[in-house]
Structure 1
Amino acid sequence: MAQIINLPTFSDERGSLTVIEKLLPFEIKRIYYIYNAKEKRGGHRHLKTTQALVCPKGSCEIFINNGNSEQTVLLDSPEKCLILSPEDWHSMDKFTSDCVLLVLASEFFDKADYIEEEYPRD
């Protein structure tokens, strides 16, 4: 199931610096970000890919269904990182107008790794 990890942040009079280092349960092979989102994104799970999601700016909601339970996570801080396992069917929604959603992935893009069918819902 998905989990939140808190990213170490160092702040002083110059500002804040948040670090993603030696925290992720995978080697990063792909990095992308979503912005100017006007509608729901995602709507899939993976065969192999683990992902880490961070909102460095703005906020959005992530709906997760792993086949056994469902949850919705609000990403509203650059210090909050959501780890999605391959079995976590997920969709992203309710993007603020200034939202930037950064995604770090364990695998390179492969369309065959995507499973779009959602688990049955209660």
Structure 2
Amino acid sequence: MSFLINLKTFTDSRGNLTVIEKIIPFDIKRIFYIYGVDKSVRGGHRHHNTIQAAICIQGKCTIFSDNGNESENFVLDHPAKCLIINPEDWHTMHEFSEDAILMVLASEYFEPSDYIFEPYD
């Protein structure tokens, strides 16, 4: 099942610095980001192999995750929150704020055959 991790953040009078180092449970092969989303629902799939780490680096969004046994909505509303999405987690991304930028780190290169679009019953 998907789970949240907190990214190490250093804060002082100059601002904040959030570090992604030695905490992502996979080697990163691809990075993409989603922004300028209207009221649409994004995602709607799971994977055969790809593990993902989702970070809303600006604004906020909600990610629904269902692994066939349990489901949960995760609100990403701070750039130090990171949601790990396992391959079996059928997920959608929704409720994007107007300024939201969702960055996703992926364990695999893009491969159309890795996607499973049917949700669990």
What TM-score bracket applies, with the shorter chain setting the length? over 0.9
TM-score by length of 1: 0.98
Matches within 5 A, 1:4-43: 4-38=4-38, 39-43=40-44
The 3-state SS of whatever aligns with 1:48 is: coil
Q: Distance in 1 between matches of 2:72 and 2:111?
A: 26
Matches within 5 A, 1:1-122: 1-38=1-38, 39-120=40-121
Unpaired segments ≥5 residues, structure 1: none
Q: CA deviation at 1:118?
A: 0.1
Deviation readout 1:24-65 (Å, 9 max, x if unpaired)? 110000000000011110000000000000011000000011
Counterpart AA for 2:84? I
Unpaired segments ≥5 residues, structure 2: none
The 3-state SS of whatever aligns with 2:68 is: coil
Identity of aligned residues (%): 57
Deviation readout 1:54-82 (Å, 9 max, x if unpaired)? 01100000001100011000000001000
* Poorly superposed stretches of 4+, deviation over 3 Å: none
Q: Distance in 2 between matches of 1:54 and 1:63?
A: 14
